[in-house]
Amino acid sequence: MTETRIDRRFAAVKAEGRPAFVTFLTAGDPDPATTLALLAALPKAGADVIELGMPFSDPMADGPAVQAAGLRALKGGMTLNKTLDLVREFRKTDDVTPIVLMGYYNPIYSHGSEAFVVDAKAAGVDGLIIVDLPPEADDELCLPALKAGLNFIRLATPTTDDKRLPTVLTNTSGFVYYVSINGITGSAAPDASRVAEAVDRIKRHTPLPVAVGFGVRTAEQAAAIGANADGVVVGSAIVQAVANSLDAEGRATAATVPAVEALVSTLARGVRAARRPVAA
């Protein structure tokens, strides 16, 4: 598989002696134009990688903030094709920031897996995180995605033991996403010491970068997690910042983009405070 934007970005931040800052937005929340403005703002505010959520009506792993964002997006008419359109528009002005689509298999299955892989690659997508597609179903999407040059990023959790981990890591590329807590997104704060132990354990099985998410909300938490992880993922806090900026009808306001920019800038400083030695 050829080198991807994700590979290059993780290599670049490693050379800088710091972890990557991975941010999450829900596509179409609260509307496509606002999402596009937010996508453009994130790299300037310090995001290294952007996860773009594909709204789905039954998001089993998502907490209240991300669920609400998905419902707002779906209510506004967001679709998988429109999500790809957003990536295509983003790529007109940014050809370096990695974009990872995150979501569930049902919309992709409805679109057609082979067609989706082709369309995602053409739009400028770099990787996929499909939370409900296990390694046993790699033929469905993972292997076609890898063949097309898309990274397929797998989740590992606190319950992924050493017996299961090699299976999870098979065909994983780009990075490993370690879910730092048992439960849904945004439901609790991670324990930095336990996360460090988990990251070390995963690294004994793979040379891939390990990014840690679920529950990271503050710059201090980001710095603590980033002291051991290769990447820090923040989603629910950013999505909640969007929600807090909306008007009574759930529409974007003049405060929406600045509110997200301010939060991401603060979090980015936390991530960048997590320095580590640069390999010679």
Q: Which residues are catalytic?
A: 51, 62
Contacting residues for 248 by C-beta, under 8 A, at least 6 apart: none
- The Cα-based distances of 41 to 30, 77, 83, 125 in angstroms read 16, 23, 17, 18
CA–CA separation, 12 vs 19, rounded Å? Answer: 10
Q: Minimal CA–CA distance to 22: which of 184, 175, 155, 246?
A: 175
